[in-house]
Structure 1
């Protein structure tokens, strides 16, 4: 019997697919813009600590992103931090009063250093200067932020550190010793970026960008259901050249595959992403390999699948390619007949990998995708059996290509069930949980 469809919190019609239904006959409504950005930190209380450094300008955007993700943000600043950004800015962005002093009398018990460290899900120091890092390691408590970090229950209130400093300060043995000691003491070090610095030099030591820190914070709170696993994801379209400037491709944007790669990485997996030509940023901490044609995608997949134990093939691979490719641009000539294209079949990447010895022996779990224009249940059910994969994910291609939301239907040996319309980011996280449960 088919699984029952999960309930949806959205007040939108959910298309439940029957054995003869065609999703192509019903165009589900698009989600409102505010629901395309999941509030992944909803219910989380974050204390955002700012120590002195020019990177405080990034903390304003970080605060905005945290609030947008649903977190309740409470800002604590050192006196040095106020030289770089105002308390008014951070209060306006967080929506909460900013704390500066351990003598702040606004708390009823006059103990903000205790209250802030107890009633929070995480303390995030961004930026963390070299000086403040040294204070943490030495256990100094001469102002509110360091006092709060020292007084926090280590086993209950995690401390995350986003360092920011000049490249020489970052490379100094004292700083590296302090980083190691802070980690030994239970802090989580988020690392640094590389590039131009305010002093005019270039190198390591820049604070990570706000979206990178947000990603790392979301990863921190995400259960590591894929820890120890290596996932290979194929994404986007393929491009089959006709001549040096023309080719055959499709409308796949790669958004679903990239969302799956990101969600898998956040869930603890090592992720390799093989992508056709798309204009998307590589998800953080994901290895990306760019390809053009179906044959190139297969070659890359066969090279990297040897170390992976999960394959998620979301790429919309061209079934055919031109039999020959012109070495120069084919020019239009009124005196000549319109050139005819002859096609040959491309290799079937999913079937090839699903029939490999590693997949047949159970060492490789394969998940396929089917983008149809009609009769999804009929075609996807047959495709899963034909490809020989335990799980196949179906959708209606014309209604999802290039969009930020989707409806997914999961097909396995027991039947099928629907993941209702949601952002591709949300669906990717749901699919990762489904895969983890099946491994």
Structure 2
């Protein structure tokens, strides 16, 4: 039976190297890497608003196991969410040495990449350290007592997660999942609608270079789209399973690293009007979407996603609740009146000054293509920002300040794309006085198939 550990993939250079030490059985090197690293410390969802408002202080997240209190830390935000669940979106990064210096209780242990109770995760780079060993490792001595899950010796852990041998190519195509079975049926019947409907509701694997920053998403400027030249056309491949990706990589002689994301997100940020999208290249459960179809398909896919979210939509704050009610009434004027007075989240580079305002030089005007149009993205909560661009530094100006300083009438302003409270404003209307007119991308409606 497949486990989370079987499907787990490193998302940073640290995790790649830790995985190598696990496979080699080199525990001392494992702890030397940990000693020089920054670890992710989760912020519980119920403390986020208070911390952002300055009303609450961060604390050590803990979990009791086998009569011991463990401080929970993780090697990446991705590992944190795999082990704690998707509700954990916020975190701090702390160097291992600082953890040792400020250790809260000598009776407590440190848990690295440990799952929460009830979460079926078991990452192969998991470890648990008593307080005395935390200080020993921080002091430069990585000779270990034990690493890995307490119930499994190191050798068993190593053998369980070493690379599996690859089977020789199969003569008859075998779909890897239900999505591929539906795509195969659509391709066999030349059913274009079924093919697109199936893709619109699924996640896909997007190839990336080996040295990619795994926190990047297509919604960020500079995302490294991987392309191939096929019959004079530039093609971007995406896949619906690791099996299809590995098959194509063997044929093309390319790497097998990837990120997993909703198909709608890949479409939304399609970078070039002339590039072709290829799904499962070389597979019977595959197909090609022409470049001229992609902008319209991207808009349709986001509209469909927003409609499916509408019935169970949960606003993240008061502003979103008010926006949602205005959107349900299709009251565009009220929607933008609410939005103009609100603070919004603008993704920013790590070195962006905290106090910067839209009129200042260096403000992070970072345009990206959204539905084929050059756009500036803003968000009303961290949830939608993280889903669109991944974990990112951000600043919080008011939308009114951004409107007053808008630098380019050729840029659209895009709010919360792919959600029931999304909107887009053409650049030539943004500077107008009063609530700007807008083209709503997806006015909420009752969810329909």
- Is the shorter-chain TM-score for this pair beyond 0.5, marking a shared fold? no
TM-score (norm 1): 0.24
More strand by share: 1
Greater relative contact order, per chain length (Cα 8 Å cut-off, separation 6+): 1
